[in-house]
Amino acid sequence: MLIQFNFKNFRSFRDDATLDLSAAKMSEFNDRVVSVSNEKILPVAAIYGANASGKSNVYSAFEYMVEYVVNSLHYGDDPVKFEENRPTPFLFDSVSEDAESSFEVYFTVPGDKSEKSYNYGFCIGKEGVTEEWLNYKAKTARGYKTIFYRSDEENELDLSGLPKSTRNNIEVALDKQVLIVSLGAKLKVDKCKLVRDWFLANEFADFGNAYTNFFLSRRLPKGFVEDKAIQQKVVQYFSSFDENIKGFNVEEVPAEGDSKELTYKINSIHKKIDSDEIAEIPLGMESAGTLKMFALYPELQEVLQNGSVYFIDELNARLHPLLVRNFILIFLNPEVNVNHAQLIFTTHDTWQLSNQLLRRDEIWFTEKDTDGVSTLYSLADFINEDGTKIRKDESYEKNYLLGKYGAIPTLKTIDILKED
């Protein structure tokens, strides 16, 4: 499980930003808090904020960290490819523009009976990795111990926590643009592979991106084509919001020319209203909301199975608020979410901003100041003008829209069309 994500100097976030999924000491919804490795961790984080306030940049920062871990081997000795994939720093001051960007996570690994927690991070500068570290903590330990550490500035490379047989291979093969975790995983070093695999298991969906919507809508759940039981599970999933779909008819489409890629024609099955006969329509003719829920299902299936993180940008796009709430409740229900998967999402849907659904420490806001600098903060840490914290019985939605918590747009009258 993700305990905490820290990042700095990435796009609109010039300064340190922290998304903390460790539970604060509060009384609401304690049954959903997961206890692992002496940590109390939350299954959900909702991020609110005005347009262009930085919500999507939190998503992008975590996605960038995952992609760099997975792909850094491709950047070694290839300045062009590295430059194309270097993080975008905060560009509105000369110091940050030339400074490194940093990314760090604290996490636990699903299925780890020893319940260790890990701390992994790295910094990326103009020429490559300037710093990287991996630490671990036993369940009963007070502090973290070093597995490896590197620092370009201090010309230090400490691999003491890795097997002796692999240290020399890593030291010889390590390029400036390559992460030790990526190289170690390639060399089948267990501790590096564990970290790389944790990142690989996480899923992303950006529903504010038209290309992502197109791609996801054509991705099928694992086993969907050949397994009627899987198709029936999808029908049951749909029945939570649309009982009209009774099944699916899947046909393989013959490949054209030399193409070896298999494609399928999928029809959704409906029952006719005046008889027991059925009617079929192409899945693509279903509503945009139904297609989005279909697009969410394959990754939802994998995340729940693997106990990993599902990070979704603009979850509310094209979905009724009740559908959004139903989706969130999947992660909040410990009887369904048995492997402790987590959902982190950005949204403008204030209907979910409710003390009947979310804890105060599950609600986050992004706000951008007049210099273009974004900040990230939790409702649990918000302090009123009188010095008191937010109460759990407040109307979060009402107070947010009134501007009590910040993170809303500053509006002026749109008079561009007004006649002179």
Domain of 396, CATH number, reads 3.40.50
Q: In this predicted structure, what is the pLDDT of residue 61?
A: 98
57 close to 346: Cβ distance less than 8 angstroms = no
Q: In this predicted structure, what is the pLDDT of residue 16?
A: 98
Q: In this predicted structure, what is the pLDDT of residue 418?
A: 67
Non-local (6+) Cβ contacts of 323 within 8 A are 241, 289, 293
- Are residues 312 and 289 part of one domain? no
- Are residues 239 and 335 part of one domain? no
- Are residues 318 and 179 part of one domain? yes
Q: In this predicted structure, what is the pLDDT of residue 258?
A: 74
Q: In this predicted structure, what is the pLDDT of residue 288?
A: 79
Non-local (6+) Cβ contacts of 408 within 8 A are 50, 400, 401
Q: How far is CA 15 from the centre of its chain?
A: 21
Asked whether residue 212 is assigned to any structural domain, the reply reads no
- Are residues 131 and 268 part of one domain? no
What range defines the domain where residue 264 resides?
Answer: 222-293
Q: In this predicted structure, what is the pLDDT of residue 414?
A: 63
| Residue 327, SS3 per DSSP | helix
Asked whether residue 374 is assigned to any structural domain, the reply reads yes
Asked whether residue 406 is assigned to any structural domain, the reply reads no
Asked whether residue 11 is assigned to any structural domain, the reply reads yes
Sheet containing 363-368, strands listed edge to edge, beginning at the edge strand earlier in sequence: 203-206, 309-313, 342-346, 44-49, 363-368, 374-378
Residue type present at position 180:
I
Q: Name the β-bridge partners of 265.
A: 251
Asked whether residue 247 is assigned to any structural domain, the reply reads yes
Asked whether residue 280 is assigned to any structural domain, the reply reads yes
- Are residues 276 and 192 part of one domain? no
Q: In this predicted structure, what is the pLDDT of residue 337?
A: 96
- Are residues 126 and 103 part of one domain? yes
Instruction: Provide block-wise average pLDDT over 10 residues at a time, the chain (420 residues).
Output: 98 98 95 95 97 96 98 92 96 96 98 96 97 97 96 95 96 96 98 98 86 66 89 89 89 78 88 92 86 87 96 90 92 96 97 96 97 97 88 95 90 65
Asked whether residue 416 is assigned to any structural domain, the reply reads no
Last residue of a domain, one of 244, 267, 293: 293
Asked whether residue 214 is assigned to any structural domain, the reply reads no
- Are residues 139 and 43 part of one domain? yes
- Are residues 104 and 6 part of one domain? yes
Q: In this predicted structure, what is the pLDDT of residue 346?
A: 97
Non-local (6+) Cβ contacts of 7 within 8 A are 13, 16, 17, 61, 62, 65, 101, 102, 103, 104
Nearest to 61 by CA among 302, 313, 298: 313
- Are residues 318 and 273 part of one domain? no
The total number of structural domains that make up the chain: 2
- Are residues 255 and 155 part of one domain? no
Q: In this predicted structure, what is the pLDDT of residue 124?
A: 98
| Residue 58, SS3 per DSSP | helix
Element (H, E) at 101: strand 101-108
- Are residues 258 and 183 part of one domain? no
Spatial separation of the C-alpha atoms in residues 27 and 199, rounded to whole Å: 32
Residue type present at position 5:
F
- Are residues 319 and 180 part of one domain? yes
Spatial separation of the C-alpha atoms in residues 327 and 15, rounded to whole Å: 33
